[in-house]
A and B are shown apart, each in its own frame.
Chain A
Amino acid sequence: MLSIENLHVSINGTQVLKGTSLQINQGETVILFGPNGSGKTTLLYTIMGIGNYEVTEGRILFDGTDITHMPPNERAQLGIGMSMQRPPSIHGLKTRDLVRLCAGKREIDIDELARKVNLEHFLERDVNLGFSGGEIKRSELLQLMAQHPKLVLFDEPESGVDVENMALVGSMARKLLEGELAPDRTHTMLDIKQERKTSGLIITHTGHILDYITADRGHVLYNGHLCCADNPKRILDHLQKYGYKECIRCLT
């Protein structure tokens, strides 16, 4: 579904990604770890096509289409969605109107979706204006639910979210990635798993999101290089014990 090949990215002449390759298949969820400044957000922004980043080498394919230089709205229309870590607020634009814009031509029940993330009282408020950390994440999830992407990019779903909100954010992120279907008489768990089409790429510092979602793989991005590919919980466990210093040894 998503195929990143030898990606080199720089910002204002400084190289941030130095030959990153990554493959995400349909229905797969991948976790990206890495210290501050390692290039995690750069990678997400470059996949989405926003920010001041310049791809100097390599390419990004989505469903076989080369999207390396495509404007962000076209990438969104192909099915890539992103939850930003610190999205801007927009004066005068009501959350309800933005959610409607996110849905494009699809029919959605905005109030029903808002209830799911406990934001029904925020629909008439300006987008993100005066929202708490948890409210921002829930608003991002609401927009993504309306957008219904095939690939979800999550930039730190747990940052600024308190414990109580984390459970809601986590379970909604799970629903977004895994769908809401439960096995019944006509659908076995296997059927559902095979039908699962949404993929995810999630940046996390703390790993709290792993309490709620099941990820297939984890990677560490260190100093612009993607290293390590392992079970995300094992990587997290390792990072908690030894920090990133082992990554340096691994890379050198």
Chain B
Amino acid sequence: MKKPDLSHYEFSGHSAGKVEDLKRLGKAEKESMRMAGFDAEEKGTSASFVQIDHDNAFCKSYNPGVEILPLGLAMHMHEGLADYRWRLLKPEKDEYTRMAADNPHGGYVIRVKKGVRLDQPIQSCLMMHTNNVGQNVHNIVIIEEGAEAHILSGCTTTEADQSAAHIGISEFYVEKNASLTFTMVHNWGEKVDVRPRSAGQVEAGGIFQSNYISLKPVRNLQMYPSITMKGASSISRFNSVIVATEGTYMDVGNRVILDAPDTRTEIISHAIASGGHIVARGHIQANHAPSKGHLECQGLLLNKGIIQAIPELDGRAEGAELSHEAAVGKIAREELDYLMIRGLSEEEASSAIIRGFLDIDIMGLPNELQAEIQQAISETEKSML
């Protein structure tokens, strides 16, 4: 694992203050937010949260069923929240987690109240605006019993060529029979170092669906979120679509612990290393049976990219069914031939295959975000050929 040098980033002194109206944000800010899946017009959102550098800039709920607060304020208002902060992750986990614990810059606390089913997503954006800024955030998500929500969490720098570091701690609590879809879109740049640290737990009958999309370059990103299926019959699904262009190093994966009977998980990642380097990890541990886990990594190598797929299955209960499937290689000749006999040139055929490879239909994203990502994929795909 390649380590980033975080010493030159400024982890203090960049408090920007509140933004009253998101529409009045600058064009560059709005554009970069859009690329991270955040709609500054706030069309069809249940709640919005924006963090810029070291401060919460905007925080508003449009649905009484959703409580959304900056971390500091939330800790003041709710004594009980202390039980949730640092419960799934510990500051001593590693040096980055330690840094975030010692010098917190906020983050969001989202609570979707018992039984509330949101039709519209909650959107958040964690933005790094100042050059050389280092940002530490800590997010806590609680989906109470029987509630249902989709959170879009975008992370971005204002400018693509900006230098920045982001350390994001996230703790997810999906309570009994609750359902959370968490879609994370990363829109980084060539001089950005990123260390997300996430953990979650899903109680009986709960569903956790994670979508992760990263199409832009990032200098050094490493994350290995861990989700524990704590209650019986809970289900989780992880879909990720990542592209590593030249200069990008990403060490990413998901770890799932099937810690109750009748739990299931499916981890599927589609990774393209187009000149970049991807380490695609995955780990499913089954402590109870019956339980079922499937881990899948499809990797495409272009322009001298590197992909190291490292799957790990860890069965500890008889009756657990764990499987994995991984394939890393170039675009299959027979797929190219197949499209070419229909009249497509080699380039058109490659492009159709890449676009299909990065398919995001399965993620169930809102239409506008889907279109936005589709557009980004078309642009990325051009740069790869």
Which residues does A use to contact B, with CB under 8 Å? 48-51, 71-73, 75-77, 81-82, 84, 87-88, 90-93, 97-98, 101-102, 104, 126, 143, 147
Contacting residues, chain B, for A72 (C-beta < 8 A): 337, 340-341
Interface residues of B in 328-385 (CB under 8 A from A): 332, 334-335, 337-346, 348-349, 352-353, 355-359, 361
Q: A51-B337, A72-B337, A87-B338 are in contact. Are A92 and B357 (CB under 8 A)?
A: yes
Contact B346 A73 (CB under 8 A): yes
Interchain residue pairs with CB less than 8 A apart (13) = A48-B341, A50-B337, A71-B345, A72-B337, A73-B342, A73-B343, A88-B338, A91-B357, A91-B359, A93-B352, A97-B352, A126-B356, A143-B342
- Report the minimal beta-carbon distance from A12 to chain B, rounded to whole angstroms: 14
Contact B343 A102 (CB under 8 A): yes
Contacting residues, chain B, for A50 (C-beta < 8 A): 337, 340-341
How distant is the Cα of A102 from the Cα of B353 in the complex, in angstroms? Answer: 15
Contact B358 A88 (CB under 8 A): no
Contacting residues, chain B, for A143 (C-beta < 8 A): 342
Contact B356 A76 (CB under 8 A): no
Of B341, B345, B356, which contacts A81 at CB under 8 A?
B341
Contacting residues, chain A, for B345 (C-beta < 8 A): 71, 73
Contact B340 A76 (CB under 8 A): yes
- Report the minimal beta-carbon distance from A44 to chain B, rounded to whole angstroms: 10
Interface centre among B270, B341, B353, B359 (most CB of A within 10 A): B341
Contacting residues, chain A, for B348 (C-beta < 8 A): 101
- Report the minimal beta-carbon distance from A238 to chain B, rounded to whole angstroms: 33
Contacting residues, chain B, for A73 (C-beta < 8 A): 340-346, 349
How distant is the Cα of A38 from the Cα of B348 in the complex, in angstroms? Answer: 34
Q: Would you give the 0/1 interface string for B270-313, flagging 1 where the beta carbon is closer than 8 Å to chain A?
A: 10000000000000000000000000001000000000000000
Q: A48-B341, A76-B340, A82-B341 are in contact. Are A90 and B346 (CB under 8 A)?
A: no
- Report the minimal beta-carbon distance from A119 to chain B, rounded to whole angstroms: 16
- Report the minimal beta-carbon distance from B97 to chain A, rounded to whole angstroms: 36
With both beta carbons as reference points, the residue of chain A lying nearest to B332 in the complex is identified as A88
- Report the minimal beta-carbon distance from A71 to chain B, rounded to whole angstroms: 7
- Report the minimal beta-carbon distance from A148 to chain B, rounded to whole angstroms: 11
How distant is the Cα of A48 from the Cα of B342 in the complex, in angstroms? Answer: 10
With both beta carbons as reference points, the residue of chain B lying nearest to A99 in the complex is identified as B342
- Report the minimal beta-carbon distance from B301 to chain A, rounded to whole angstroms: 16
With both beta carbons as reference points, the residue of chain A lying nearest to B359 in the complex is identified as A92
Q: A88-B335, A91-B298, A92-B359 are in contact. Are A101 and B352 (CB under 8 A)?
A: yes
**Chain B binding site: helix, strand, loop or mixed by DSSP?**
helix
- Report the minimal beta-carbon distance from B335 to chain A, rounded to whole angstroms: 5
Contact A92 B361 (CB under 8 A): yes
With both beta carbons as reference points, the residue of chain A lying nearest to B355 in the complex is identified as A92
Contacting residues, chain B, for A76 (C-beta < 8 A): 340-343
Contact A147 B342 (CB under 8 A): yes
Contact B341 A88 (CB under 8 A): no
Contact B340 A92 (CB under 8 A): no
Interface bin, chain B? 20 to 34
Contact A92 B337 (CB under 8 A): no
Contacting residues, chain B, for A90 (C-beta < 8 A): 335, 338-339, 352-353, 356
Q: A51-B337, A90-B353, A93-B355 are in contact. Are A71 and B346 (CB under 8 A)?
A: yes
Contacting residues, chain B, for A88 (C-beta < 8 A): 332, 334-335, 338
With both beta carbons as reference points, the residue of chain B lying nearest to A98 in the complex is identified as B342
- Report the minimal beta-carbon distance from A33 to chain B, rounded to whole angstroms: 23
How distant is the Cα of A51 from the Cα of B339 in the complex, in angstroms? Answer: 13
How distant is the Cα of A97 from the Cα of B342 in the complex, in angstroms? Answer: 12
Q: A90-B353, A91-B357, A92-B358 are in contact. Are A77 and B298 (CB under 8 A)?
A: no
- Report the minimal beta-carbon distance from A26 to chain B, rounded to whole angstroms: 21
Contacting residues, chain B, for A84 (C-beta < 8 A): 338, 341
Contacting residues, chain B, for A92 (C-beta < 8 A): 355-359, 361
How distant is the Cα of A91 from the Cα of B353 in the complex, in angstroms? Answer: 8
Q: A72-B337, A88-B335 are in contact. Are A93 and B342 (CB under 8 A)?
A: no
How distant is the Cα of A90 from the Cα of B356 in the complex, in angstroms? Answer: 7
Interface centre among B298, B337, B342, B348 (most CB of A within 10 A): B342
Contact B361 A101 (CB under 8 A): no
Contact A71 B341 (CB under 8 A): no
Contacting residues, chain B, for A101 (C-beta < 8 A): 339, 342-344, 348, 352
Interface centre among A49, A92, A93, A101 (most CB of B within 10 A): A92
Contacting residues, chain B, for A75 (C-beta < 8 A): 341
- Report the minimal beta-carbon distance from B242 to chain A, rounded to whole angstroms: 15
Q: A90-B335, A90-B338, A92-B358 are in contact. Are A147 and B343 (CB under 8 A)?
A: yes
Q: A92-B357, A92-B359, A93-B355 are in contact. Are A71 and B335 (CB under 8 A)?
A: no
With both beta carbons as reference points, the residue of chain B lying nearest to A73 in the complex is identified as B340
- Report the minimal beta-carbon distance from A76 to chain B, rounded to whole angstroms: 4
How distant is the Cα of A81 from the Cα of B343 in the complex, in angstroms? Answer: 9
- Report the minimal beta-carbon distance from A243 to chain B, rounded to whole angstroms: 32
- Contacts A71-B340, A71-B345 supplied; 18 other A-B pairs, CB < 8 Å: A48-B341, A50-B337, A51-B337, A72-B337, A73-B342, A76-B341, A76-B343, A87-B338, A88-B334, A88-B335, A91-B270, A91-B356, A91-B357, A92-B357, A93-B355, A98-B352, A101-B339, A126-B359
With both beta carbons as reference points, the residue of chain B lying nearest to A146 in the complex is identified as B342
Contacting residues, chain A, for B340 (C-beta < 8 A): 50, 71-73, 76
With both beta carbons as reference points, the residue of chain A lying nearest to B353 in the complex is identified as A90
Contact A104 B357 (CB under 8 A): no
Of A71, A93, A104, A147, which contacts B356 at CB under 8 A?
A93
